[in-house]
Structure 1
């Protein structure tokens, strides 16, 4: 990801533009892109701020505001799937999210679902051995000598 230019450089460029130098000439003098100087100057005139804005997406998830709703869904139905949660969010809250977003939301909160154990096999199933298939060829040792 690209880094912002230093604040010192921004101030020097904006001071030059403020002193009457054109934006293109300031860009050439300080070896900065023309569009960059134009954006800096427009930002400085509208807001009065010379610092760079924070880069990247703000921290958190768009599901943070729906945390209670999602946790309630998991308490209502133990084996609810992420796709079912996705459908309920869309229908009841008008929030469209991907399955990965839901997955990360629950992973950050250490909410996991464990599959329940199967019913233990019966005693018959534990001792059962498959029989030889019908119509299978006999082994060469089982053929009587003729």
Structure 2
């Protein structure tokens, strides 16, 4: 995963702009692209400094979480519907979610759907 450049570098680039350098000149001087200089300048104007936003993390689970009750209802009263059955049920209601999205939703909420019955205990006793 990429890593944001330091705020120190961003501050030095923006100081060069304030001293009269163009975006290209400042970019070449500090080894960054003119587009990055432009974005940092925009951030400085909009939010007061050129700090980067947080990188990584889950940014899309909120979409399925907003429909939590519908997903749980699609799971069925026995909570044994397969993911494909749930996807079809949600699609009928106009909600399209991928297999992995539903799988991660179940993992977050500790929902398991094992359909295999428990095996009977072995008849052999412990050996000495």
What is the TM-score of this pair, normalised by structure 2? Answer: 0.76
Structure 1 segment 113-124 matched on structure 2, within 5 A: 113-115=113-115, 117=117
Aligned residues between the structures: 118
Larger radius of gyration: 1
What is the SS of the residue equivalent to 2:14? helix
Cα distance, 1:43 vs. partner?
A: 2.7
CA distance 1:14–1:114, shift in 2 (3 Å): same
Which runs of structure 1 show a deviation greater than 6 angstroms over 4 or more consecutive aligned residues? none
**Aligned position for 2:84:** 83
**CA RMSD for the aligned pairs?**
2.4
Corresponding residue of 1:56? 56
Partner in structure 2 of residue 123 of structure 1: none
Gaps of 5+ in 1: 121-146
- Give structure 2 stretches of 5+ with no counterpart: 121-128
**Cα 1:28/1:78, change in 2 over 3 Å:** closer
Deviations 1:118-142 (A, max 9, x none): 9x9xxxxxxxxxxxxxxxxxxxxxx
Measure how far apart 1:77 and its partner are.
5.0
Inter-partner Cα distance in structure 1 for 2:58 and 2:115? 35
User: Structure 2 CA distance, aligned partners of 1:2 and 1:117?
Assistant: 46
